[in-house]
């Protein structure tokens, strides 16, 4: 994994970085359904009343160090739920900007851009 001090200065340059993460096991990946309601409520606040849970397309899960990720796409954006080793969760959304899901997860993990 690319360390924070080697992250590109600009988000668009992250599209040139090759990154892979292992998927969570099947049981953990299946937890993605637990997050739909709360994630949809969050995205409704961010995106407006026209957002529907049906707009979310689950892409994958990932393990990044001690953080678990679940990522979805909608419109031209990604929505993510991350969970740290103590069970603390965070929801984020951002434009795809030509990034792969893995690159978006890396940017989120390092809290860049």
CATH number of the domain at 47, please: 3.10.450
Q: How many domains is the chain built from?
A: 1
Return the structure tokens found at 86: 């103590």
Beta pairing, strands 77-83 & 67-74:
antiparallel
Task: Give the side-chain half-sphere CA count within 13 A for 79.
Answer: 24
pLDDT tens digits for range 37-86: 899 998 988 887 778 889 999 999 999 999 999 999 999 999 999 999 99
Mean per-residue pLDDT of the chain: 93
Q: Is the pTM of this model over 0.85?
A: yes
Determine the pLDDT at residue 56. 94
Q: Which percentage of the chain shows pLDDT scores above 90?
A: 81
Give the domain range for residue 84.
4-109
pLDDT of residue 104 exceeding 90, the answer is yes
Determine the pLDDT at residue 19. 95
CA distance 112 to 108: 6
Determine the pLDDT at residue 48. 78
């Amino acid at each position: 994994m690319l360390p924070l001090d080697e992250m590109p200065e600009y988000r668009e340059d992250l599209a040139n970085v090759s990154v892979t993460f292992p998927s969570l096991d099947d049981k953990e990946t299946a937890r993605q359904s637990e997050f739909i309601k709360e994630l949809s409520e969050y995205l409704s606040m961010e995106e407006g009343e026209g957002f529907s849970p049906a707009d979310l397309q689950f892409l994958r899960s990932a393990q990044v160090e001690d953080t678990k990720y679940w990522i979805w796409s909608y419109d031209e954006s990604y929505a993510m739920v991350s969970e740290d080793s103590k069970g603390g969760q965070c929801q984020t959304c951002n434009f795809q900007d030509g990034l792969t899901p893995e690159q978006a997860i890396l940017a989120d993990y390092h809290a860049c851009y």
